[in-house]
Structures are given as structure tokens and as C-alpha cells.
Structure 1
Amino acid sequence: MNNYDSEYYFISYKSTESRPILAADADTATLAYTSEALPLGGRPLKFHNGAATSKNKHLFSKKPPEIIFHGSDIAVENEIYEKLSSIEIPNLVLQPAIYIDHNDVWHENYWFLTFTKKLDCWDRDKSLYAPDPLTGFGDIRYEVISYHLKKSVLDLIPISERKLFKMGATTEGWLLVHKSIAGLFKKTGAELVPVKEFGTTFFP
């Protein structure tokens, strides 16, 4: 019997002052880049370090991390992109992106992971969450504190179609990765948190 809580990891970050955060420039901000596949041949998405100020620039490394976060979404460097592009992952679009760091240096070797659909597979009976849903997003979302995955949902989906997905019906929409490809995300800028440890990691 599958124990899905032991098979999946949240792709997360460590909260440090030196962590860059993707902030979209004015043109990119007008696009639905977090939920839609943009037309091929268009301009790359463009982001700067939204965590950098004139007073804290010294905290950030000249070499940006291999994975940079935009909320719970991520942009990854070419090496990860090449490996992901060889795996057929449903609802995932890899969109070219430019990251402009705290020194105004352009890094044109990033790709933004856009999921056009989410997978709602968290167990309402076992997970800890605020009971009142939030509306106004175009759907219903809950604030989930700790997770258990729903076996009856995942049993119906072949492993080839759930190796990487974005969690649905939650306010955060974290990315989850199956242990079979989790090694792709063991890179600078990211931390893999087992599902069963998520609540203790973020809400000690």
C-alpha cells in the first residue's frame, strides 16, 4: 500500500535575509504567466530581485541560486530545465525568463515553471487547515497548515502523470515533487520538505 506522504516533497525555500525574490517588471506583471502558457516567440518573462534594497545589497551573492522563488512558484536554471523538458509532465509549461540581480546584471539562463492546472489531492479528514474557505480567486481555497495526501485521489493517477504538480485548493499552491525525480531540485535556493514534516518546518 502506497504511503504518499513519504513519497512526496514540497519544493520550498529557507527564509533568510540573503534570499532573492522574483518580482516581475511592469510588462511581465500584465501577463498571466503563473497560470497560462504564453504565446511562443514572445519576449521572455523578466524579473528583478524584489528583496534587494540599497541597504541590503551586500547580503546577496554575485552568483544567484539555481532555483529562485516567486511566492511558491519557481524559476530554474538551464541544467534543471533541460532535465525537466525531457520528462512529460502534465500541465507544466517551461517559459523563458530573465533575472536581473541586485547589481543590475542580467541572467538569461532561467525558466519559469507555469502550471496551467493544479492537482487537489490533500486529505480534508487528516490535514490541519482553517475550516472557512477563502473566495475571490475564481475558485475555493483553504489555508492549510499541515498536509496529508489523499490516497484515493492519487491511486487513480499514473505515477508518470504526478511526478511534479502544483497543489490545488490552497492559498499557497506549493509545488510537490515525487521522490523519483526529487534530486533535480536539490539545488541552491531550494529545500525539499517531506509532506509529513511540512507543518513542523513552517509552523514550529
Structure 2
Amino acid sequence: MMDSYDHDYFIVLNDYHEQTIYTKPFKKTANRNYEFEKLTLGQEPLFFENGYKEEAIENGINLPVTDVLMDGVLPIISTKLRDKIKHMKFKGMQLYPSVYIDDKEQWHEDYWCMNFWEEVDYWDKEKSKLSKTSQKRLAANPNALVVDIYKYVLDADKLDRIPLSERLIFKMDRGMGYVFIHYELAKILMEDNPSGIKLVRVSQFEEGMQF
């Protein structure tokens, strides 16, 4: 099943080009630890802006606001995309109301940040490609937190034991902490070719290729 899992899953990446928006959270949002703690629905939305806002304004660059904004590795999806999957229950993740304030101070209130509060270790420690330093670190301490992963191979034994409904999407521990999505979810989200997001099959991904 190993090859099948590496074929069935995709890593979620920013769609890098000259007009890519690199979002950053407002301070009040960053202080809420939304990257790893479960937020309470009904509280204030998360707020984001262009991380290079000043440079864009100085150079007269008007960046188009895309269907998906990436906050590092975390997707922030439009209401249109959210509506496609809002009926689904995800393990360890919820879609949380978010606002993107563009360089002209216009509020875009139709966004939803993927709020993960669980990370999983569904990568094969023996077969994934790591830096030599990380290989030594992991050999000395299997629970080492800082691990550089260049190429992922998914752990078929672990995934075999988990129902698909509980692993349609997950955030991997260590490495860059990427979000992985199963083909069944990917085909729903990518149906209308949304802007601002790129999916790379796990079997084809190698760290650095996305830039």
C-alpha cells in the first residue's frame, strides 16, 4: 500500500510566482496560537495582511487576492471553497472565520483558515529522505522535534489502521509541518481550479522544488 498512499496524497503549497501573496497574521491573531490550538467558534475572526505590504505599495504593485491564501503552510480558503466541504467532519482541524485586509485597506471577510490542533507522524522514519544531521538526531532520539525532511514516504502501516474519514486531511509533525490532503478531498477543492494553491503528489515532492 505504500506506493498507493504516496500517490493518493498531496502536499498543499503556495502557488509561487511574481504576484504571490505571502500573508502574515495581525499581532492579535498571532497571539491566539491558531497554528496549534483549537479556537472557539463564535469568537473574533482571524485577521491577515500582506507580509510585504509596504514594499508592494512603494513599488505600485497591486497583488490580486486569490481563492486561497497561504499563511506559511496553512491554507486560508474562500467561502466558495469552504461551502464545498463544510458538511464534512475533519479530525484535528476546523475551518475558522478569517479576514484578509488588502494593501488598499479593503476587508475580504469571506475566508476560512484551516485551524489545526493536532499533528501526526504518518511519515515513514526509515524510508523518508532526511538530512544527515537529522538522521543522526533521530537515531539518538526517535522523538526529536527538529527534523529536516527532504522527501516524504508515508507510513502505510499507520494509515492502514485509520479510516479514510479520519485522514482526509492532516498536518504532519516535524519537517516543515506541511498539510497533506487525500485525493478524494483534493478533487473537490480543486474542481474549479482555484487560484493561490498548488498541490504536489507526495511521490513527486522533494523539498525545494516548489520555489
TM above 0.5: yes
Spell out the pairing of 1:1-204 with structure 2 (5 A cutoff). 1=1, 3-52=4-53, 53=55, 54-61=57-64, 64-130=65-131, 131-132=133-134, 133=137, 140-170=145-175, 172-186=176-190, 187-199=194-206, 202=209
Residue 27 of structure 1 deviates from its aligned partner by: 1.2
Task: Note closer, same or farther for the CA distance 1:44–1:203 as it changes in structure 2 (3 Å cut).
Answer: closer
Alpha-carbon distance in 1 for matches of 2:163, 2:30: 35
Runs of 4+ residues deviating >4 angstroms? none
Contact 1:167 1:173 in 2 (8 A): yes
User: Which of the pair is proportionally richer in helix?
Assistant: 2
Alpha-carbon distance in 1 for matches of 2:50, 2:31: 18
Task: Note closer, same or farther for the CA distance 1:163–1:44 as it changes in structure 2 (3 Å cut).
Answer: same
Residue 118 of structure 1 deviates from its aligned partner by: 1.1
Consecutive unaligned residues of structure 2, counting only runs of 5 or more, are none
Consecutive unaligned residues of structure 1, counting only runs of 5 or more, are none
The amino acid across from 1:162 in the alignment is: R
Percent identity over paired residues = 29
Contact 1:21 1:49 in 2 (8 A): yes
Contact 1:17 1:59 in 2 (8 A): no
The amino acid across from 1:141 in the alignment is: V
**Normalising by the residue count of structure 2, what TM-score does the alignment of the two structures yield?**
0.86
Alpha-carbon distance in 2 for matches of 1:88, 1:197: 28
Alpha-carbon distance in 2 for matches of 1:101, 1:176: 28
Task: Give the number of aligned pairs.
Answer: 198
Contact 2:37 2:116 in 1 (8 A): yes
3-state SS in 2 of match to 1:180: helix
Alpha-carbon distance in 1 for matches of 2:202, 2:208: 10
Task: Note closer, same or farther for the CA distance 1:89–1:203 as it changes in structure 2 (3 Å cut).
Answer: closer
**Normalising by the residue count of structure 1, what TM-score does the alignment of the two structures yield?**
0.89
Task: Note closer, same or farther for the CA distance 1:158–1:56 as it changes in structure 2 (3 Å cut).
Answer: farther
Q: Quote the RMSD (CA, aligned, Å).
A: 2.2
Residue 14 of structure 1 deviates from its aligned partner by: 2.6
Alpha-carbon distance in 1 for matches of 2:181, 2:60: 32
The amino acid across from 1:189 in the alignment is: G
